[in-house]
């Protein structure tokens, strides 16, 4: 897998170039805009009020520039999104455009659900403001299937006030992290060092930990995962629970909602998530109570996959208007509208020197993490394997039903079944 | 001896009431909790100090549900879809059940079993084929199409339940009516259905609740707020990274009000119907 890291300096350089490019060709020319007409259907999984506020701003700005095009949006809960996407494709009732996440693009392309946009993107004046890493997240077999909209950058929230109270610094290595989690755990006070996501959705973090120890999973259709390294990774991660007791007892049932509520209500000192949840945490805690920081580095890399959200095209009807709509998401105005409404980090570097990003100290961690993070491993069957094998086997370790070695063996066996 | 028996009776009575009280608390507590949560501000909901009674009462959650979720339209769609489902199921189901109850024909037993087998299929397996069928018929995104979709899995249960009620009515009553010149259909509408009224109500309530609460079919077969139903609207309030507990609680309370009103109106008939025929098969 191509590893392409961007430094903060490179970001700023690219943004300077892009700013010049913006004045020339970031929008369609007025003449061309007037030619576009029709109704464009767009499916997505925005559901919260803040996301809708942001999206409505984007629709308004697009329709102001393209008055002949009407955008009809349909929101689908994230958990059911692929079911409905599949129904649309199989039932030949495709909408024009769709939201595409980097973890789903492989499966979407496998069912022939997306239009190849390679030629359109290569001719697009804003292509180069996004790094190769961004484009890699939506590229399958050399073809590009989406325009980047946002980035979900994995980082860590921590209770600044607890760390100050204990006189310890935020962790930079996994060893520091373990020691901090232990030091900040006090069950009698109802405090735990780390809100480990051992419930629904926790598979992602397990994969991130294994990757940070140097585990590669599948290359060219072959399993290349090293058993011993997987054991080391799972062993460390599970020791937070089984050996140190530094997580809440409800760990095996804790999904996103539980770890976030636990952090917001003062039960945990640290929690791993990404930039998408910043607005929620900021509403609940004061700036002097919490901070953001890049996750501590693992032995071989950063324990976090960068997730990008893109927009793609599902059918060739009215391609010009569909392209205009999805490429609009890649321009600065929608990114700012969404950043204001949701806190979602832009996927390209155009805004990296915007004061709304640079003046917010919380976003410093995002740049650090962006420089170190990688994309989630992509192979057909990955989603099912991680959810249905990796997570349950890890949970068995947490409750003592399996040893680390047994769990890893089961994961490898499941991986063989998944890629067949 | 008598005092011993009285003591035993008292103990049994205490145990029975204790058990019933426990069941009542177990069943009612989530609803009461949701009701109380619907009047709390967000800060009092997500907190490490458990609050049973709201310290600060707000109606903002109900206002939010009404104004921000498209609530009136969603409820309207739910009512329309549920009523259509009820009419279709009760009409077709009653006719089918009458045929199964009164006629002996080849394949009768197999057909009844087939209806049961249909009920054993996970509904999710039908989603894609149903989507394709509805799309080809132009019924996607319509309350009528959704009602037809609900009928696919509710009609078998309606037929089975009504058959049970019809079986409990002596056929001699119809024979008497037919001797007096009544047709089969006339006997059904004039004699059988009035006698099976409580069964119709019981069946109708089951069908209505199932149609009202359905989420999966409504999500898959509708696209916009013009046709979406209330359960889908409620689910769409759950954000990826935000969860408005207060507003969702308000939505939950509002959504059970029609069911509670319906049950309040028909409860006596419903209980009579449940105990009269259906469960005796």
Residue A221: predicted pLDDT: 86
Profile chain A (420 residues) by mean pLDDT over runs of 10 residues: 40 42 40 73 88 88 93 91 93 95 90 96 91 90 94 93 95 95 95 96 95 93 94 97 96 93 94 90 91 93 91 95 95 82 78 75 80 80 90 96 97 92
Using CB atoms, pick whichever of A86, A265, A276 lies closest to residue B241. A276
Whether residue B52 is contained in a domain is answered as no
| Residues from B in contact with A at Cβ < 8 Å | 46-48, 68, 127-128, 131-132, 135, 140, 219-220, 223-224, 235-244
Put simply, the answer to whether B242 touches A50 (Cβ < 8 Å) is yes
CA B82 centroid distance within chain: 9
Looking at the fold, whether B202 and B148 belong to one and the same domain comes out as yes
Using alpha carbons, select from A177, A293, A302 the residue that is nearest to residue A240. Answer: A177
**Residue A75: its chain B contacts at CB < 8 A?**
236
**Residue B235: its chain A contacts at CB < 8 A?**
77
Residue B122: predicted pLDDT: 82
Which of A73, A87, A271 is the best mutation test for B, with the most CBs of B within 10 A? A87
Put simply, the answer to whether A51 touches B140 (Cβ < 8 Å) is no
Q: Give CA torsion, residues A218, A224, A228, A231, to 10 deg.
A: 10
Put simply, the answer to whether A90 touches B244 (Cβ < 8 Å) is no
Put simply, the answer to whether A190 touches B46 (Cβ < 8 Å) is no
CATH class, range A154-305+377-419: alpha beta
Q: B9 lies in which domain range? A: 2-37
Put simply, the answer to whether B239 touches A48 (Cβ < 8 Å) is yes
Residue ranges of chain A assigned to CATH 3.40.190.10: 8-153+307-370, 154-305+377-419
A19 class by beta-carbon count within 10 Å (0-12 exposed, 13-18 middle, 19+ buried): middle
Q: Is this prediction's ipTM beyond 0.90?
A: no
Whether residue B198 is contained in a domain is answered as yes
Structure tokens of A84?
A: 């409905």
Using alpha carbons, select from A335, A301, A342, A362 the residue that is nearest to residue A53. Answer: A342
* Closest residue of chain B to A273, computed from CA coordinates: B241
Residue A129: predicted pLDDT: 83
Q: What is the CATH number of the domain that holds B69?
A: 1.10.3720.10
Q: What is the pLDDT averaged over residues B111-117?
A: 88
Residue A157: predicted pLDDT: 96
Token look-up 């003592």 returns: A400
Structure tokens of A226?
A: 């090293």
**Secondary structure class of A298 (helix, strand, coil):** coil
Structure tokens of B196?
A: 């099976």
**Secondary structure class of B41 (helix, strand, coil):** coil
Whether residue B48 is contained in a domain is answered as no
Using alpha carbons, select from A296, A266, A272, A289 the residue that is nearest to residue A164. Answer: A289
Strands A69-75 and A38-44: what pairing? parallel
**Residue A72: its chain B contacts at CB < 8 A?**
224
Q: How far apart are CA A395 and CA A255, in angstroms?
A: 12
Residue B274: predicted pLDDT: 62
Q: How far apart are CA A69 and CA A83, in angstroms?
A: 28
Phi, psi of A286 (to 5 degrees): -80, 160
Q: How far apart are CA A198 and CA A237, in angstroms?
A: 11
**Residue B224: its chain A contacts at CB < 8 A?**
72, 74
CA distance A48 to chain B (A): 4
Considering only residues B129 and A361, tell me which one the structure prediction assigns the higher pLDDT: B129
Using alpha carbons, select from A377, A334, A340 the residue that is nearest to residue A355. Answer: A340
Number of domains in chain B: 2
Looking at the fold, whether B256 and B127 belong to one and the same domain comes out as yes
Whether residue B45 is contained in a domain is answered as no
Put simply, the answer to whether B235 touches A48 (Cβ < 8 Å) is no
Residue A376: predicted pLDDT: 83
Looking at the fold, whether B30 and B112 belong to one and the same domain comes out as no
**Residue A280: its chain B contacts at CB < 8 A?**
241-242
Looking at the fold, whether B145 and B73 belong to one and the same domain comes out as yes
**A8-153+307-370, CATH topology level:** D-Maltodextrin-Binding Protein; domain 2 (3.40.190)
Using CB atoms, pick whichever of B47, B131, B238 lies closest to residue A265. B47
List, in sequence order, every residue forming a beta bridge with A39; answer none if it has no partner. A70
Q: How far apart are CA B192 and CA A44, in angstroms?
A: 52
**Residue B131: its chain A contacts at CB < 8 A?**
87, 90-91, 93
Token look-up 């054993």 returns: B120
Residue B273: predicted pLDDT: 64
Put simply, the answer to whether A47 touches B240 (Cβ < 8 Å) is yes
Q: What is the pLDDT averaged over residues B138-166?
A: 93
Using CB atoms, pick whichever of A93, A266, A267 lies closest to residue B140. A93
How far apart are the two ends of chain A, measured CA to CA in Å?
Answer: 21
Whether residue B136 is contained in a domain is answered as yes
Residue B276: predicted pLDDT: 58
* Closest residue of chain A to B245, computed from CA coordinates: A257
- The DSSP code for A343 is -
Q: How far apart are CA B202 and CA A239, in angstroms?
A: 55
* Closest residue of chain B to A51, computed from CA coordinates: B239
Using CB atoms, pick whichever of B220, B243, B244 lies closest to residue A83. B220
Q: What b/e readout covers B38-60, taking b as 16+ CB neighbours within 10 angstroms?
A: bbbebebbbeeeeeeebeeebee
Looking at the fold, whether B82 and B16 belong to one and the same domain comes out as no
Phi, psi of A291 (to 5 degrees): -140, 170
Residue B59: predicted pLDDT: 93
Residue A26: predicted pLDDT: 40
Put simply, the answer to whether A257 touches B244 (Cβ < 8 Å) is no
Looking at the fold, whether B122 and B232 belong to one and the same domain comes out as yes
Put simply, the answer to whether A49 touches B241 (Cβ < 8 Å) is no
Whether residue B80 is contained in a domain is answered as yes
**Residue B127: its chain A contacts at CB < 8 A?**
83, 87
pLDDT digits (tens, 9 = 90+) for B101-113: 999 999 999 998 9
User: What predicted TM-score, i.e. pTM, was given to this entire model?
Assistant: 0.80
Looking at the fold, whether B110 and B201 belong to one and the same domain comes out as yes
Structure tokens of A181?
A: 């989690």
Residue A100: predicted pLDDT: 95
């Amino acid at each position: 897998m191509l590893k392409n890291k961007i430094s903060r300096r490179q970001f700023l350089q690219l943004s300077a170039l892009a700013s010049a490019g913006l004045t020339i060709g970031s929008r369609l020319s007025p003449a061309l805009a007037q030619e576009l007409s029709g109704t464009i259907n767009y499916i997505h999984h925005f559901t919260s009020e803040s996301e809708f506020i942001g999206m409505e701003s984007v629709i308004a700005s697009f329709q102001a520039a393209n008055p002949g095009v009407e955008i009809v949006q349909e929101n689908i809960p994230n958990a059911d999104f692929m079911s409905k996407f599949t129904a649309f494709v199989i039932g030949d009732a495709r909408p024009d455009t769709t939201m595409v996440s980097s973890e789903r693009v492989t499966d979407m392309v496998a069912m022939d659900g997306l239009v190849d946009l390679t030629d359109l993107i290569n001719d697009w004046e804003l292509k180069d403001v996004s790094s190769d890493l961004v484009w890699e997240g939506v590229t399958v077999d050399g073809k590009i299937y989406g325009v980047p909209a946002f980035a979900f950058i994995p980082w860590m929230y921590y209770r600044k006030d607890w760390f100050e109270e204990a006189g310890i610094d935020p962790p930079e290595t996994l060893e520091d992290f373990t020691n901090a989690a232990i030091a900040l755990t006090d069950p009698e006070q109802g405090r735990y060092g780390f809100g480990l996501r051992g419930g629904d959705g926790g598979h992602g973090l397990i994969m991130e930990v294994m990757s940070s120890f140097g585990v590669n999973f599948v290359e060219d259709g072959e399993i290349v995962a090293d058993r011993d390294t997987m054991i080391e990774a799972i062993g460390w991660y599970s020791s937070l629970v089984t050996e140190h007791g530094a997580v809440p007892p409800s760990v095996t049932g804790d999904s996103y909602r539980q770890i976030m509520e636990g952090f917001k209500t003062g039960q945990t000192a640290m929690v791993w998530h990404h930039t998408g949840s910043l607005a929620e945490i900021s509403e609940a805690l004061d700036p002097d109570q919490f901070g953001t920081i890049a996750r501590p580095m693992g032995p071989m890399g950063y324990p976090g996959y960068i997730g990008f959200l893109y927009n793609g095209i599902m059918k060739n009807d009215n391609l010009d208007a569909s392209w205009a709509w999805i490429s609009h998401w890649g321009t600065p105005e929608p990114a700012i509208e969404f950043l204001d409404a949701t806190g979602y980090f832009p996927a390209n570097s155009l805004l990296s020197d915007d004061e709304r990003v640079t003046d917010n100290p919380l976003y410093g961690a995002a740049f650090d993490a962006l420089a170190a993070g990688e994309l989630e491993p992509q192979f057909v069957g990955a989603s099912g394997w991680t959810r249905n094998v990796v997570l349950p086997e890890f949970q068995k370790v947490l409750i003592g039903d399996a040893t680390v070695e047994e769990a890893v063996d089961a994961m490898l066996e499941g991986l063989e079944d998944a890629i067949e | 001896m008598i005092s011993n028996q009285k003591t035993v009776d008292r103990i049994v009575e205490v145990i029975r009431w204790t058990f019933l009280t426990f069941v009542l608390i177990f069943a009612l507590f989530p609803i009461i909790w949701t009701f109380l949560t619907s009047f709390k501000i967000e800060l009092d909901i997500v907190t490490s100090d458990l609050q049973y009674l709201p310290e600060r009462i707000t109606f903002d959650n109900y206002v939010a549900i009404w104004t921000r979720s498209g609530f009136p339209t969603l409820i309207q769609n739910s009512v329309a879809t549920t009523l259509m489902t009820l009419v279709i199921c009760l009409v077709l189901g009653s006719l089918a059940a009458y045929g199964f109850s009164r006629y002996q024909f080849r394949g009768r037993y197999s057909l009844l079993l087939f209806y049961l087998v249909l009920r054993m299929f996970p509904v999710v397996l039908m989603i894609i084929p149903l989507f394709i069928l509805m799309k080809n018929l132009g019924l996607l995104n319509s309350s009528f199409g959704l009602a037809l979709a609900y009928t696919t899995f509710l009609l078998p249960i309606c037929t089975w339940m009504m058959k049970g009620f019809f079986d409990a009515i002596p056929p001699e009553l119809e024979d008497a009516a037919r001797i007096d010149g009544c047709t089969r259909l006339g006997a059904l509408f004039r004699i059988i259905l009035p006698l099976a009224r409580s069964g119709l109500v019981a069946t109708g309530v089951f069908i209505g609740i199932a149609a009202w609460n359905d989420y999966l079919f409504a999500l898959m077969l509708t696209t916009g707020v013009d046709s979406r139903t209330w359960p889908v609207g409620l689910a769409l309030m759950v954000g990826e990274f935000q969860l408005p507990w207060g507003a969702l609680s308000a939505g939950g309370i509002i959504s059970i009000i029609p069911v509670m009103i319906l049950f309040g109106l028909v409860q006596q008939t419903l209980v009579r119907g449940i105990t009269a025929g259906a469960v005796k098969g």
